[in-house]
């Protein structure tokens, strides 16, 4: 396969990983724990989008071979994921007087609950949105890039959301308060910031983006109850690589890990040419992504963004 095509595919996969990484890192920076339910929050968003798509369906004109109704359904998916996350925060995490390890373990339990509910309603078999698959864009095929209009929609939507988040963080009052609270929560309270509200907004934004990312993952592959959990480790690798707690690091880490993940066939071709290296196939994509994460952390222990918060 041509390198360009792998890079293009990498960019698509990265877009989904980036959307998921942002939320994981945001929640870490403000709620101060590694949320293992984040992957299943993606699944919640994906299935909510599926339900919404069943109702609104092919409403409206078509944008990038997707009905406007699909984008509306994704928004519903993001909103439901945000709502579920805030409710979980208020009912489960907030009342618990435990440290960040306690919260981490609690979030594993929360992940099981989300997944069980999805499985009860939708079964464990993969399902699809039922949007007709697209052929690769003809004009790009001669360049060796086989990418569909749907995949362009994923990359473009993720880019819009990332730019939107950047503008929010840098230029709005809420964004500055989120950065201040992530930087130093006790000083934020001293300054008069109502940090409890900021925590809510963090969950809403982080889970909302994860929910939308889940919807795109469902379009890119299929929907299954384990869909989010299955990529959670890759998302963690991206977040740790970027510097956990840093939103911009998560964006960079997500991009890098996603591309590396999809470049695996090319990497394995190179590796086979070297003596004594076994033929590592694409099945080892996650392993290689983690190896690269470890290698980067050996050089920069606090990740790409180097301890910068948000």
Partner 1 sequence: MTVLELDGVDAGYGDVQVLDSLSMALDTDEIICLIGPNGAGKSTVLKTVFGLLEPWAGSVRFRGEEIGGLAPETIVREGIGYVPQTENVFGSLTIEENLRMGGVARDDDLESVIDGLYDRFPVLDEKRRAKAATLSGGQRQLLAFARALMMEPEVLLIDEPSAGLAPNTADDVFADVRAVNEGGTAILMVEQNAHKGLDISDRGYVLDQGTVAYDGDADALLDNPEVSRLYLGG
The distance of closest approach from Cβ of residue 188 to partner 1 in the complex, given in angstroms and rounded to an integer, is 7
Q: How far is CA 78 from CA 50, 83, 211, in A?
A: 12, 9, 4
As measured in angstroms, the least distance from the Cβ of 296 to partner 1 is 21
Q: Which is nearer to partner 1, 125 or 184 (CB)?
A: 184
Q: Give every CB contact of residue 68 below 8 A, 6+ residues apart in sequence.
A: 59, 60, 61, 62
CB of 54 to partner 1, least distance (A): 43
Where b means 16+ CB within 10 Å and e means fewer, 180-194 reads: bbbeebeebeeeebe
Q: For residue 218, what are the CA distances in angstroms to 224, 227, 309?
A: 8, 8, 31
CA–CA separation, 40 and 158 (whole Å):
19
Residue 82 burial (CB < 10 Å; 0-12/13-18/19+)? buried
Q: Work out how close the CB of 13 gets to partner 1 at its nearest, in angstroms, rounded to a whole number.
A: 30
Pick between residue 81 and residue 198 the one whose CB is nearest to partner 1.
198
> For 167, phi and psi rounded to 5 degrees?
-65, -40
In the complex, what is the shortest distance from the CB of residue 81 to partner 1, in angstroms, rounded to a whole number? Answer: 28
Residue with tokens 């500055």: 176
Query: CB of residue 21 vs partner 1: minimum separation in angstroms?
Result: 19
- Residue 169 or 293: the one with the smaller Cβ distance to partner 1 is 169
Contact residues toward partner 1 (CB under 8 A) are 173, 176-177, 179-180, 183-184, 186-195, 308-310
Q: Looking at beta carbons only, is 230 or 308 nearer to partner 1?
A: 308
Three-class DSSP category at 17: helix
Q: How far is the CB of 299 from partner 1 (least distance, A)?
A: 22
Side-chain-side CA neighbours of residue 32 (13 Å): 12
289 closest CA partner among 3, 1, 13, 22: 13
Q: Residue 276, class by beta-carbon neighbours within 10 Å (0-12 exposed, 13-18 middle, 19+ buried)?
A: exposed
CA-CA-CA-CA torsion for 302, 41, 8, 134, nearest 10 degrees? 180
Which of residues 121 and 197 has its CB atom nearest to partner 1 in the complex? Answer: 197
Q: Are 62 and 276 in contact (CB under 8 A)?
A: no
Closest distance of CB 28 from partner 1, Å: 15
- Name the residue nearer to partner 1 (CB basis): 121 or 194: 194
- Of 195 and 224, the one with the shorter C-beta distance to partner 1 is 195
**CB of 190 or CB of 298, closer to partner 1:** 190
């Amino acid at each position: 396969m041509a390198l360009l095509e792998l890079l293009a595919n990498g960019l698509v996969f990265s877009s989904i990983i980036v959307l998921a990484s942002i939320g994981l890192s945001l929640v870490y920076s403000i709620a101060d724990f590694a949320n293992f339910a984040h992957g299943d929050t993606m699944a919640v968003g994906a299935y909510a989008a599926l339900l919404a798509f069943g109702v609104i369906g092919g409403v409206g004109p078509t944008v990038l071979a997707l009905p406007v109704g699909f984008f509306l359904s994704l928004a519903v998916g993001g909103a439901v994921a945000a709502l579920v996350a805030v409710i979980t925060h208020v009912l489960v995490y907030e009342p618990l007087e435990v440290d960040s390890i306690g919260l981490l373990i609690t979030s594993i339990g929360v992940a099981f609950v989300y997944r069980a509910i999805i499985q009860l309603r939708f079964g464990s078999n993969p399902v699809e949105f039922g949007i007709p698959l697209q052929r690769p864009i003809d004009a790009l095929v001669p360049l060796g890039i086989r990418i569909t209009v749907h995949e362009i929609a994923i990359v473009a939507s993720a880019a819009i959301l990332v730019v939107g988040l950047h503008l929010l963080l840098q230029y709005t009052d809420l964004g500055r308060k989120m950065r201040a609270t992530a930087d130093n929560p006790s000083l934020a309270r001293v300054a008069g910031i109502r940090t409890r509200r900021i925590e809510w907004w963090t969950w809403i934004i982080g889970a909302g983006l994860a929910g939308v990312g889940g919807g795109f993952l469902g379009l890119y592959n299929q929907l299954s109850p384990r869909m989010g959990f299955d990529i959670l480790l890759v998302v963690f690798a991206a977040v740790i690589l970027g510097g956990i707690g840093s939103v911009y690091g998560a964006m960079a880490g997500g991009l890098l890990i996603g591309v590396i993940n999809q470049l695996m066939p090319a990497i394995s071709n190179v590796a086979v040419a070297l003596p004594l290296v076994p033929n590592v196939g694409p099945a080892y994509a996650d392993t290689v992504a983690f190896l690269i994460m470890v290698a980067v952390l050996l050089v920069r222990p606090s990740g790409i963004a180097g301890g910068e918060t948000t």
